[in-house]
Amino acid sequence: MLLVMIRKEILESLLSSRFTISSLLCLSLIPLGFYANLKGYEQALSDYLQSVQIYESSMKGNPNINFQGEGYRSPSAFIIFSTGFENILPTKIITSRDKGVEILNTRGTDNSLSLLFGKVDLAFVVTSIISLLALVLIFDSISGEKENGTLKVILSNPVSRSSILLSKLIGNCFVLMIPFMVAISIGFLILSVSGTISPWQSDFFTRFILIIATTLLFIFCFFLVGILVSTLTSRSITALIGVLFLWVILAIIFPRASTMMAEVIYPVKSQQVVETEKAFQKESIEKEKDKRLRLLYDRAAIEFNENPNSISVGPEQTPLQKTYNQRKVPIETEYNEKVQRELNRIENDFLREKKIQDAIARNIARLSPVSCYTFIVSELACTGSLQALQFLQDVQRFYEKIQEEVYSHFRIETYGSSGGATASRINTDPDIPKKENMSRFQTHFVPISIVWDKVWVDFLLLCLYCLAFFAIAYFSFLLYDAR
């Protein structure tokens, strides 16, 4: 009996205009999104390779003290699934001896409208369009049958209410899955023939399968939302208003309002304020260090019967300069540690508060299955928060290598008196490597194992949402008045 009822639901859905509209939307938007984002990736990859090539052509000879190391972030090939943070993540880094690391987004406003309106990736199509199609396909499956008077006729036969509920779920899901999977297959074919991406490569194919599996679970979740509303209403128009209201809440309000709510609940100062505070603290400590070093030089000069305000620097150190360089080591060590300690304190306090705020925002957003799905897909596509953190780690690792290979080979000896006289000498180690032998910046994409440690909660919540919606719909239908 269940199979007969499933065939009935499938046939009715296939003959409806809703199936035609759903098919047209799926078969047009999903392949178009795959193709457009593939072209976007090809352009980003071309820009990346050209930038690297130009930089490599300049990496010849010996570096000097003003050497600037450059690194370029490789774009993610998974942006066809979710663009996520891809358009706002920095694309270039510059290292220098004095400023440390400067992070830039050289992509700028190459396509300002895409930044304004967003891109039609798979995550957008699924969360904004297919989720709505799932609701539209099933919203009147129970209430519509009651209005037509067919529900009580069906229930007069020896068929259980659970069979009716399951047949409507399975039948309507199957009907939507036909155009969806066909569209996904076309998109996969586009990737296969492009030559830019190798979709059969192990890591890409694994992520692809996981994203599609999560997408199917998410779509099923919205079918359950639709049938739940249908079991709670007795008229189709009421059910339609109900599913549209829930869709607005789940797809728009919770995901977008979560950040604003977190900022109200737990306000955190901005990154700009933090950087200003760090610069002020560093300048204050550096001034204090400079004052002590100048007094130290004055005392050393008096010991050697020299004028502190008459400083000359030659190729070799004088006895005064040797003595001063030995005595200043503890002071420089003390203040360098103090600077690092203060900067770390400010940064760690900010990161701790920001982490709390982000956790609040994420937990509020998780009240919607749309947010859970978005978190999972963006992390699997290497365009989420984990990839942003991985990029910062790559930047730090690159700077440490350049620091060791280049900047540590230049030592600046500075001599200054409290009267304001200043002179300096630059000492260069002879074994400094050539530019062509230095380390290059490398982009590392977050492994699937680490992604799973981050998103398993969201996947579990999706499953729990499905169970909760089905349980409520089931018990509601058991009490449903078919008259």
Average pLDDT score, the chain? 87
Whether residue 414 contacts residue 362, with contact meaning beta carbons closer than 8 Å, is answered with no
Q: Residue 154 — pLDDT band, cuts 50, 70, 90?
A: confident
Look at residue 106 in the predicted model and tell me its pLDDT. Answer: 66
The answer to whether residue 378 scores a pLDDT higher than 80 is yes
Distance of alpha carbon 312 from alpha carbon 294, whole angstroms: 15
pLDDT band at 226 (very low <50, low <70, confident <90, very high): very high
pLDDT beyond 90 at 13 = no
Domain regions of the chain by residue span:
2-95+107-265+448-478
Q: What is the mean pLDDT of residues 441-469?
A: 93
Distances, alpha carbon 108 to alpha carbons 112, 117, 120, 324, 443, in Å: 8, 15, 20, 49, 20
| Ranges assigned E (strand) in 73-151 | 92-96, 100-104
DSSP output for 302-318: HHTT--TT-----SS--
pLDDT at 482 over 80: no
- Angle subtended by helix axes 448-478 and 161-194, to nearest 10: 150
Could you read off the pLDDT of 157-209 as tens digits, one per residue? Answer: 788 888 888 888 998 898 999 999 999 999 999 988 887 888 888 888 999 99
3-state secondary structure of 46: helix
The answer to whether 461 and 369 have CB atoms below 8 angstroms apart is yes
- In this prediction, residue 31 carries a pLDDT of 92
Contact residues for 156 (Cβ-Cβ < 8 A; gap 6+):
none
Distance between start and end Cα atoms, the chain: 23
pLDDT at 2 over 80: no
Residue 67 has pLDDT above 90, yes or no: no
Over residues 264-274, mean pLDDT: 87
pLDDT at 114: 59
Across the beta sheet with 92-96, what order do the strands follow?
69-72, 92-96, 100-104
pLDDT at 110 over 60: no
How large is the average pLDDT for residues 7-24? 83
Q: Which residue has the higher pLDDT, 280 or 102?
A: 280
Q: What pLDDT was estimated at residue 108?
A: 53
Percent of the chain with pLDDT over 70: 97
pLDDT above 60: residue 115:
no
**Dihedral sign for Cα atoms in the order 7, 11, 12, 16:** positive
Residue type at 308?
Answer: P
177: which 2 tokens?
């899955």
What separation in angstroms does the CA of 231 have from each of 136, 181, 463, 472, 479? 15, 28, 21, 9, 9
The pTM of this model reads 0.86
- Identity at 188, one-letter amino acid code: F
Q: What is the mean pLDDT of residues 289-305?
A: 89
Q: How confident is the model at residue 473 (pLDDT cuts 50, 70, 90)?
A: very high
pLDDT tier at 76, thresholds 50, 70, 90: confident
Given the DSSP bridges, would you call strands 422-428 and 69-72 parallel, antiparallel or unpaired?
Answer: unpaired
pLDDT given at position 225: 94
Q: Which pLDDT belongs to residue 433?
A: 84
Higher local confidence (pLDDT), 430 or 77:
77
Q: What is the model's pLDDT at position 112?
A: 56
Q: What is the pLDDT of residue 142?
A: 86
> Would you state the pLDDT for residue 117?
62
**Coil, strand or helix: which one is 197?**
coil
